[in-house]
Structures are given as C-alpha cells and as structure tokens.
Amino acid sequence: MSIQVYNRQRAVRLRLPWLRKLAPLALERCLEHSADGRFALRQLEEVEVAIVTDRVIEDVHLRFLKTPGATDVITFEYGEIVISAETAAAYARQYKHDVNRELGLYIIHGLLHLNGYDDLTPGDAELMHRTQQDILEACLADLPTV
C-alpha cells in the first residue's frame, strides 16, 4: 500500500517533501486504528492526497456532497483525500502552529475516515480527535520539526 501527496495549489507555501515523509508514517499508524472494526483502509492499494485551494474544495464539496462552502478535508472511500491549503493556513494561524502541522493533521483525519472513523456526533468526534492527535504526535516524534 502506498500514499501519494500532491500540491495542486499555489496560494499557500508548504513543505511538500516534509509532508511526503509524514504521510507514510501516518498511514502506517492509521492502519492499526479502525473505529468500525472493518479496517477498510487495508483494502486500498493506494491513497492519494490532493492539496488544493478553497475555491477547488468548495467546488468538490458542492458537487459531491451538495454542501456549499469550503471545508478542510473531504475523503472519498476509494482512497482520495482532498485538503484545502487555505483553510489549513487559517486554522494554523488560529491555533498558532505551522501550516504543515495542520496539513499533516488533515492527512491523518482523512486516513482515519477511510478506516471507519466519523465525526458526526460529539462522542465520535472526540474519539477521532483524540486518535488523530495521538497519531500526529507519534509521527512528529519521528520527523525533524516543521
């Protein structure tokens, strides 16, 4: 199984080589966590992450989920994760950390969605948040700082 990360935007400066190192570490850890016990992520041959602008993710959001407006992450069950760099940058500023860390968190968030996690109820959202934070911290411990 492999994971590919593509930068399809120019609005936000990011460290693509660093994200490409984080992604396989995150994938390895996410493969061990399934909220529904199906471990659907293990059935995929490849996961593709596309980092795009708010305009692009807004279009994807409306076309596929019938919801207007930009969002942070959209995950498709066949293994595609679409991430908004501009939304990540806004949250990174709000939480006072690096945009690459925020993008890494979104990669993990998408991988967990592929493995049965959801964030529609408060309890599910809390479990997902706690799991993705633990995975992010473990990945960051294995990588040079951003």
What are the pLDDT digits (tens) for 57-73?
A: 999 999 999 999 999 99
pLDDT exceeds 80 at position 127? yes
Please state, for a pLDDT cut of 90, what percent of the chain lies above it.
98
pLDDT exceeds 90 at position 145? no
What's the confidence (pLDDT) of residue 101?
97
pLDDT exceeds 90 at position 7? yes
Domains of the chain with CATH codes: 2-142 (3.40.390.30)
DSSP labels for 68-83? -S--SEEEETTTEEEE
What is the C-alpha to C-alpha distance for residues 8 and 5, in angstroms, rounded to an integer? 10
pLDDT exceeds 70 at position 146? no
Instruction: Summarize the confidence of residues 84-112 as an average pLDDT.
Output: 98
Question: Which amino acid, 29?
Answer: R
Q: Tens digits of per-residue pLDDT, 72-92?
A: 999 999 999 999 999 999 999
Q: How many CB atoms lie within 10 A of CB 27?
A: 22
The single residue listed with the structure tokens 């994807």 is 60
Residues in the chain: 146
Question: Which amino acid, 71?
Answer: T
What is the band of 144 on the pLDDT scale with cuts at 50, 70, 90? confident
> Residue 33, annotated ligand binder?
no
**Tokens (6 digits) for 76:** 């498709």
> Residue 72, annotated ligand binder?
no
Phi, psi of 2 (to 5 degrees): -135, 165
Instruction: Name 49's bridge partners.
Output: 5, 81
Alpha helices in 31-84 (DSSP H): 54-65
- Cβ contact 9:83 at 8 Å: no
Question: Average model confidence (pLDDT) for the chain?
Answer: 97
